Amino acid sequence: MRNTEEMHGWTVKMSTPSVLAVVTVFSMIPGGVLSDMRGSQGLETQQLAQGSSHLHRRLRRGWIWKQLFVPEEDPTPRVIGQLKSDSDRGEYSIKYVLSGEGAGDAFEIDEYSGEIRTLKKLDREEKAFYVLQAQAINRRSNEPEEPQSEFIIKVQDINDNVPQFQNEPYVSSIPEMCPTGTTVAQVTATDADDPMFGNNAKLIYSILQGEPYFSVEPKTGIIVTSWPNMDREAREQYLVVVQVKDMLGLSGGYSSSTTVTVSLTDVNDNGPTFQHHLYTFVVPENAPMGTTVGRIMAEDGDVGINAKMTYSLEDDLEESSTFFIQTDPVTQEGVILLAKPLDYESKRRFVMAAEAVNDHVDTRFLALEEFSDRTTLKIVVEDVDEPPVFLSPLYEWKVPENAAVGTVVGSVSARDTDTVNSPIRYAIDKRSDATKAFKIDPNNGTITVAKALDRETSDWHNVTVEAKETTQNHLSSSVVVFIKVLDINDNVPRLARDYQPYICEGTQAGELIQLLSAVDPDDPVEGHHFYFSMVPEKHINPNFTIRDNQDNTAGIVARRSTFTRKDRTHYLLPVVVADSGSPALSSTSTLTISVCSCQPAGHCPSGGVEALALSMGLSMQTLLGILVCLVTLTVLSVLMLMVRRHRRKQQEGLEVEVRELELPETVSQKVLYYGEPGGAGGGGGRGGLDSCQPVVPLRSHPRRRERRLRREDVRASIRMSLRESHLIGPEDEVFRQFILDRVAEADQDPYVPPFDCLRTYAYEGSGSPTGSLSSLDSSTSEVGPEQPVSNPRPYLVRLTPWYGGGEEDTVF
């Protein structure tokens, strides 16, 4: 429909599932108030420009559209409304344009008819409303016929969400025996549907499981107890199932459930209770103190601190102090322990009362006396075969060290405490009396002296005596006997050390020369007291006297002041030391007092050596000279010994060289060099033997034995040739080949060291007076006694055993 003032306007037709309404909305709002009303100011300006004659007419400021509604979760596209401009004459000259949220995606508009359609199903929980803009445009001028207007499409809620419980799981605890109506917990559920539209999000709570013990407030979800005096000992835990429904629980709504775990906490509503009125235990009589005799348990239905209890034993029914009881903190049991030794022969049974009391009581639930309980304990002592028992735990005796063999020192006694009362035999442990100073009577335990005692050797004897039963199990026990050896005066006193007193030449009469003290191995009860004196003589000693200081010391004092070494070098002074024992013992020691030439401070530098020299009748200079001579002789003896040892080593070295020369396997070629200063030929060779470096045996060649095998034939030829050397000339083929072989071996042998000189030998012919150099035709002694002494040639040593007989292995 049109407005009464014939103004152009929008016509909106709204389509709902039940109603199709046509609504025309006009709004006269002053310009500039709504910022989203586009085009209003421009219209006002245009109308004002038409003149004052038109100021009395109403001006259109803009358009505001009411909300359009679309149901959620509707998958069918449908028309939800229609926009129509007053300029639309049905000629399709107007084009409708839709923009804003969801335009083209969730909504579209027919550009010719202005119908608004949905394109997909909408979810209110995802987006509850859409803000869109509509505009009518003239198709011919492409200008807007109307200013752009804004409207809202609201998604209408439906019940499409299930209520959900928050903060799951639910766990709660309440004390047992609590009153009815005690709050247990509160459950909370939420519904994503619109709480302002219908009953979709209106929830209600109910109990599915847990009645009649619990109930729930329908609107708040608070769970409370509905059963009085719930006992934890009967049932400790409950599972309460709570259901929540939307739409106030009406049919067609959604529902969900949750479980609340309710635990009952303990209170002290039970006291301890013993299951038996009498507990009996058996313990052996030899059980050590602290032994666990047994355990008792008072049942308490409570737990934790409410179940803690303390056990105690009642005062003397029958000497309950022999045992004591304490609570095991883990099991809450009463542990009965042995406090004193047991003896089957003296007491065989104990009866006592035990009580258990809760540590923490709660009089709200029980009376005070109900938090305790009592029972009776009976403990039976079991007989055990025990070893003998000595009447005393140890023995301590005293015996003088001069006690005769057989003297009784003391007696030990033991008995068998068992009812059998077996006989006892005694013996001394050999390990405790290694010296066998004592012996014991095996029947009555009397200990006597077996050998002489000496306090100075051993003043205490710790003897272990063993007592053993003669029947049954032969059990034994032992005791320690301490025997102290008392001292008697059986040792003479002696000077404390070996004194070597001296007196200076300038000593004056009355001066102290030496302070003396004494020792005595004895140990008198009143302590030592020594007396010092001189040996009584007919005449008084004119030189020295002894002054007793009455404190176990004495001093030697000079009687005169004219002591010189020339007169006398030393003096002998007998000293008598006596003790205060009964009887008194004494000893005499003779001291040698030397005369010394002391330094100004009174010190004798020679320390007695000078006095010793004078006593021998020698001066210090003579004594020093003798000492120097002794030192010199010692040095010479050492030097002579070293020289002799050096010569012996040289001789041993020469013997080794000779042995090497005589061994064919360890020698090398020996070549002699004959000098010819006068001319050539055999005659010149008789002039003499030139001096050269000594022949050194070469290192044994590792392949020498191999060369021996292949030179056997050459050696045989040489030996035959040498035997007839007076018939063979120097140009003989045998000698030539021999020289060539030696030269080749020397050139190729890496083990041959270089020589300092060349030693050669030449053939002298058969007419030489000396004869051949070879020893094959010579005797063992090369130079006989018949040889002329005037022969100028030196003595020639046999180089190698070339003698025809014996060893034929010749090395060149």
Burial 752-786 (b: 16+ CB within 10 A, else e): eeeeeeeeeebbbeeeeeeebbbbbebeeeeeeee
Q: Is residue 328 classed as helix, strand or coil in its secondary structure?
A: coil
Residues of the chain with pLDDT under 70: 1-66, 315-320, 538, 601-602, 605-620, 656-732, 734, 750-812
Nearest by Cα to 338 from 314, 356, 321: 321
Report pLDDT for 656.
64
CA 6/CA 86 separation, integer angstroms: 10
C-alpha to C-alpha distances, 782 to 163, 570, 669, 768, nearest whole angstrom:
144, 78, 20, 16
Query: Please, which contacts does 213-219 make with residues 24 or more away whose CB atoms are closer than 8 Å?
Result: 213/238, 213/240, 214/184, 214/238, 214/240, 214/262, 216/187, 216/242
Q: What is the pTM of this model?
A: 0.42
CA 665/CA 536 separation, integer angstroms: 93
Q: Which residues, in sequence order, are CB contacts of 626 under 8 Å at separation 6+?
A: 618
Please give the single-letter amino acid code of residue 420: V
Please give the single-letter amino acid code of residue 39: G
Report pLDDT for 545.
92
Report pLDDT for 163.
94
φ and ψ at 386, to 5 degrees? -105, 155
Domains annotated on the chain, with CATH: 67-156 (2.60.40.60), 164-265 (2.60.40.60), 273-382 (2.60.40.60), 389-486 (2.60.40.60), 494-596 (2.60.40.60)
Are 573 and 593 in contact, with CB atoms under 8 Å apart? yes
> What is the number of alpha carbons within 13 Å of residue 399 lying toward its C-beta?
29
